Amino acid sequence: MRTPFLLLSLLAVLAGCDPLLDGLNGGKPRSDCGPHGPGQGEKPAHPDPPVLPEKPDTILYFSAVRFPDDYDWQRDTAYGSTPFELRLYRDGEPVLVLPSGPDACFVPDPDRHHLLSGHLYTERMADGMTRVGRDGDELFRFPGREYLVGLLEDGDDLYTLSRPARGRGFSYRKNGEILLNRTDGAPFGDLNDPSYGPTGALYRDDGKICFCFTAGAAPNWSFYLARDGRETRLDNLLPSAGILDIKQHGGRALILQHAFQKNLMSDGRIWPEEGGFAITGRFSDGTGGYFSGYLDPGTWTEQHRLCNEEATLYRRPEGTYAVSAAASGTVRWYGPGGAGQSGRPCHFPTPSCAGFMGDRLLLALTPRDAAHRPYILDGSREREVDLHGYISSLAVEISLPN
């Protein structure tokens, strides 16, 4: 049974359940989620003092690339051939130092460094192969030159979703072995899209490993869901209206599309959240320009402006944030706590150079002036990192007490 739902006025449709997804909870509140305890008027015979939970441990990880002090890496005179070190830091201290070499499973490119569960995952294309590594050790390799767009741990197993360096297609693998392959497909999401989280285009929904993709050719695009390697087609969509994002949440497909008004939103993203979802994107200002912002979750029609420039958007329980990096090197940020900008021109290599500790936005910035060291910006505090190079990614991990 398929049940269409209106998700967002003029912009999105919540696709009904596919037969593959039928029978799931569909986001309804569980009947066992209410408070439990003595009935009204009853008191425990021997009341115990309340037990306060231990405070979770918050750990800041970041990766960085260090070059020899006499190499001007910002001029890019010998990029790819100059020796370097790839480093992993934990709470400001280096815990992993990996020297480069011909057999290394990593490269200096920032968008090839991925922090997940306290580990540094890397990818490298060399000699007609793609190598995937963790903490400097190669896990597996496979033929072809492919970029990772999804990376998900499952015990001792590692699932990856990758696309060719050129052309269309993708491969879904477990420990390097293909589970699902399409030569005409393109996944939604990647490892540098904050709305997909640290695992990128691969994620879990109702315990299943999921991703979404499009296949075919214009104008006859087809759209699919994949759950644990099984694909199913989404019917009754309007590809000509422009599909901006598709995600699975609560056993259903959330589909963001231009349903009626063209150019009202561009680069839109869905952010699944507990009890619902949020929508961010670029909106027309009605005068030929655009601004970055989000839709009011109460009406789905009122647009909230965060900034006028093109920016990377981040959604948190505390609110929506934006980070922009101008060609001049000025990095600006906006959020519930206000706005600010870097005091000097900086590199902000990828969206993964931002993270959060509660409502505090952390930015990993590398000054363009080589006389200044890279630093982590935490509010007005700059935590300098003593290396000649740049910070490539940042992640905040919450370690729950045993």
Q: What was the pLDDT predicted at 92?
A: 94
- Say whether domain 5-21+54-399 belongs to CATH 2.30.30: no
- Written as six digits, the tokens of 318 are 């505390």
Q: What was the pLDDT predicted at 198?
A: 96
Q: Give the SS3 label for residue 75.
A: helix
Q: What was the pLDDT predicted at 305?
A: 93
Q: What was the pLDDT predicted at 21?
A: 32
Q: What was the pLDDT predicted at 15?
A: 40
Which residue positions in the chain have pLDDT lower than 70?
1-56, 76-80, 238-241, 259-263, 400-402
pLDDT in tens, 128-167: 999 999 999 999 999 999 999 999 999 999 999 999 999 9
Q: What was the pLDDT predicted at 142?
A: 97
- Residue 219, preceding peptide bond in cis (omega within 30° of 0): yes
Residue 48 half-sphere exposure, CB side, CA atoms within 13 Å? 3
- Written as six digits, the tokens of 138 are 């190669």
Q: How far is CA 235 from CA 156, 182, 184, 255, in A?
A: 36, 19, 18, 12
Contact criterion met (CB below 8 Å) for 63 and 85:
no
pLDDT in tens, 211-229: 999 998 777 889 999 999 9
Q: What was the pLDDT predicted at 350?
A: 96
Contact criterion met (CB below 8 Å) for 202 and 212:
no
How far apart are the C-alpha atoms of 35 and 33, rounded to whole Å?
7
Compute CA 72 distance to the chain's CA centroid, rounded to the nearest angstrom. 31
Q: Give the SS3 label for residue 167.
A: coil
Contact criterion met (CB below 8 Å) for 278 and 294:
yes
Burial tier of 193 (Cβ tally within 10 Å: 0-12, 13-18, 19+):
middle
How far apart are the C-alpha atoms of 336 and 156, rounded to whole Å?
39
Q: Nearest-CA neighbor of 308 among 288, 329, 337?
A: 288
112 φ/ψ angles, rounded to the nearest 5 degrees: -110, 10
Contact criterion met (CB below 8 Å) for 355 and 323:
no
Q: What was the pLDDT predicted at 355?
A: 96
Number of CB atoms found within 10 A of residue 379's CB: 10
What are the residues whose beta carbons fall under 8 Å from the beta carbon of 140, sequence distance 6 or more?
131, 132, 158, 175, 176
Q: What was the pLDDT predicted at 232?
A: 92
Q: What are the residue ranges spanned by the domains of the chain? A: 5-21+54-399
What are the residues whose beta carbons fall under 8 Å from the beta carbon of 238, sequence distance 6 or more?
257, 259
Q: Nearest-CA neighbor of 62 among 29, 38, 95?
A: 95
Q: What was the pLDDT predicted at 79?
A: 61
